[in-house]
Amino acid sequence: MTTEKMNLIEKLYQTHDLSDDGFLCLLGGMTEAETQLLYEKARLAATKIYQKQIYLRGLIEFTNICKNNCFYCGIRRGNTNVHRYRLGEEEIVACAKKGYALGFRTIVLQGGEDPYYTDEQICSIVRKIKQECPDAAVTLSIGEKEHDSYQAYFDAGADRYLLRHETADEKHYGMLHPAELSGAHRKRCLRDLKEIGYQVGCGIMVGAPYQTREHILEDIRFMQELQPHMIGIGPFIPHKDTPFAKEPAGTLSDTLALLGILRLAFPNVLLPATTALGTIHPQGRELGVLAGANVIMPNLSPTSVRKDYMLYDGKICTGEEAAECHHCIERRMERIGYQVVVERGDYRE
């Protein structure tokens, strides 16, 4: 029997868009048969463009010091239980080289908004990594900066920038962040980054406190306007030392459904099966790929600091070495019939 939602999935697969009511209907929950159809179409859409290839990004969490106080985040400045660290330039570059030797062709530098690193330092780190790993892409994920700083990093060789918008709804943004942060500024940053020429990634947490279906619809509309190259989504997971400690986590099924919907709405987008997804279910990342994801971001950070980069409770891979995570992902992907490739994994038009 063909249901209304099955028709919507087919339409989204064909046209990459739906009416507001159409998206809200799909976001309202699906039967098992509808869900399976969604995943099947999402896999088809992904493999048409990216085959059964999974791109790896080596993630270096180089500082857990942050001047912000986001209500959901474990390394918010108000959390005094965190052992704070920063890696120096040489350590960061050494870490990138190690990743390069393992086969990573994208290095992601992620950190809190740590004013210790000047623009010149970030540029110098980017330049050195590009020198040592010439055919690798460098992605920055270091938060909200001025246009000229973004321009300087780009001129130094940075290729991509990840900055989740967290929610496109200004009021919802205010419920997740202290008053000194604004959704408008965040969106402005994303537009600056795009205009400068970065491959840009935005994204949200699924099941973030106070999130509604209408918010996710707004997120989709915002993304249709921004046209990001990457969309990072994972479940919200509470962290015990944050104001959201008692909030429920986002669910596996909601996250997988949104991955599928996003794959159909943005067939070419780079879509990670995130560590947070791997944290709420032992096969979360595999299930993410089977729902349309095509990127995985294993941890490259030195083992000594991993347990200090806890954005949420229970984060996986805090004891493993970079090589262990790399092999682990290779095996996990092979088991579901996908293949990890040694490539930069740029956006395909």
Closest contact distance (angstroms) between CB of 324 and ligand FES is: 5
How many alpha carbons fall within 13 Å on the CB side of residue 221?
Answer: 14
DSSP secondary structure letter of residue 266: S
Residues in the chain: 349
Window 316-335: residues binding ligand FES (CB under 6 A): 317, 320, 324-325, 328-329
State which residue, 117 or 312, has the beta carbon closest to ligand 5AD: 312
- In angstroms, what is the minimal distance from the CB of 70 to ligand 5AD? 7
Place of tokens 């956006």: 347
CB of 293 to ligand FES, least distance (A): 14
Please give the size of the binding site for ligand 5AD, defined by CB under 6 A.
Answer: 12
312 contact, one of ligand 5AD, ligand FES, none, CB 5-8 Å limit per kind: ligand 5AD
Identity of the residue, 269 or 311, whose beta carbon is nearer to ligand 5AD in the bound complex:
311
Residue 276 interacting partner from ligand 5AD, ligand FES, none (CB closer than 5 to 8 Å by kind): ligand 5AD
- In the complex, what is the shortest distance from the CB of residue 294 to ligand FES, in angstroms, rounded to a whole number? 16
Residue closer to ligand FES by CB (options 136, 329) is: 329
Kindly tell me which residue out of 239, 285, 326, 332 binds ligand 5AD, with binding defined by CB under 6 A. 239
Residue 276 lies near ligand 5AD (rule: CB under 6 A): yes
E strands, the chain, are 53-56, 58-63, 106-111, 137-141, 160-162, 199-206, 230-235, 295-296, 339-341
Cα dist from 248 to 177, 245, 254, whole Å: 18, 8, 13
288-317 residues near ligand FES, rule: CB under 6 A: 298, 317
Nearest one of 177, 173, 202, 205 to 190, comparing CA atoms: 202
| Residue 205 interacting with ligand 5AD (CB under 6 A) | yes
- Given ligand 5AD, ligand FES, none, residue 329, with its beta carbon under 5 to 8 Å by kind, binds ligand FES
Smallest gap, in angstroms, from Cβ of residue 234 to ligand 5AD? 6
Residue from 64, 74, 70, 66 nearest 241 by CA: 74
Q: What is the DSSP letter of 240?
A: T
* Exposed / middle / buried, residue 338 (Cβ in 10 Å: 0-12, 13-18, 19+): buried
How far CA 72 is from CA of 59, 132, 237, in Å, comes to 21, 36, 8
Cα–Cα distance, 23 to 264 (Å, whole number): 12
Instruction: Summarize as ranges the residues that interact with ligand FES (CB under 6 A).
Output: 298, 317, 320, 324-325, 328-329
Q: Which residues bind ligand 5AD (CB under 6 A)?
A: 72-73, 164, 166, 205, 234, 236-237, 239, 276, 311-312
